[in-house]
Structure 1
Amino acid sequence: MSSGWTAAEKAAMKERADELRAEKGGKKRADALADLMAKVAEMPDGERTMAERLHTLVTEAAPELEPRTWYGMPAWSKGGTVLCFFQAASKFESRYSTFGFQDVAELDDGAMWPASFALVSLGPDEEKAITGLVKRAVGDG
């Protein structure tokens, strides 16, 4: 077991530091969207297609969410705090991509509930589930 950070983890932390500096400088929503789309454009074809579709689903389900990047990943925030994000499998050489929610998401369901979902593809069933989760997460579901 390694005790150090991987190169990918170090790169993600550097990206987050850059994001924080940009936010402190008053980054505009249009710039944040351009950053998100630039990160999506860097992804391999299948992940890029998935990320583009997720962006459409999230913005249609909750237009009040603000696009941004978070640790170099596409994310959407509510009131300046990340609500949900997409982590491409290639980001950390994982076997699946992840669509996840942060603790501000209103997904509470008893003493335990899922906050992160493995994604290998997006079809109508997954799109419907994601749309419902995003609406619920912002308090509309």
Structure 2
Amino acid sequence: MTSAQSSTYEGFTAEERAAMKEHAQEQKKAARRTSRAEKEAEAARDVLAKIAEMPDADRILAERVHAVITANAPTLAPKLWYGMPAYALDGKVVCFFQSAAKFKARYATLGFNDPAKLDEGSMWATAFALTEATAEVEERIAALVQQAVR
């Protein structure tokens, strides 16, 4: 790679621009809701609708991740975040599911943000590749989200 190639900024990808547009729409929609209960119920419906739109492989994974998170960390509120199913505590996104199709990746991702209490020494994982929802994977997700909200 030449220095000219490495310093050329080509801007956001189409997928990144689409995610930012989705986030802006999510923010506008949330601002129109009135009560907290209405906001949470509508946000949960939005997450389920987004999951239903996913290609089959991503949808199956997202459904299992959603079920495991809501069963094991009921304090996390489902919401959309940049067009992805996410789970928040006190309005801050703790974890999210990124479908493989969203950014044309070869695997889906379960990611964790700063509020997740996954700290382990000086270095720890904040994202996990998902290719299948096995019993072992679901147990690991359950343990991670329980740790994240402690």
TM-score category by the smaller chain? over 0.9
Structure 1 gap ranges (5+): none
**Post-superposition, which runs of at least 4 consecutive aligned residues in structure 1 deviate over 6 A?**
none
Pick from 15, 21, 26 the counterpart of residue 22 of structure 2.
15
Q: Does 1:83 align with 2:90?
A: no
User: Secondary structure in 1 aligned to 2:119?
Assistant: coil
CA distance in 2, matches of 1:136, 1:73: 22
What amino acid does structure 2 have at the position aligned with 1:19?
E
Q: Does 1:135 align with 2:146?
A: yes
Root-mean-square deviation (CA), in Å?
1.2
- How far apart are 1:23 and its partner, in Å? 2.4
Count of residues paired in the alignment: 139
Which digits, 9 at most, give the CA deviation of each residue in 1:12-47, with x for residues without a partner?
000011112222233611110111011101101111
**What is the percent sequence identity of the aligned residues?**
49
Structure 2 gap ranges (5+): none
CA distance in 2, matches of 1:21, 1:80: 15
Pick from 9, 24, 28 the counterpart of residue 31 of structure 2.
24
Please say which structure displays the higher CA radius of gyration.
2
Q: Which residue is 2:131 aligned to?
A: 120
TM-score (norm 2): 0.89
Q: Which residue is 1:35 aligned to?
A: 46
User: Secondary structure in 2 aligned to 1:131?
Assistant: helix
- How far apart are 1:3 and its partner, in Å? 1.6
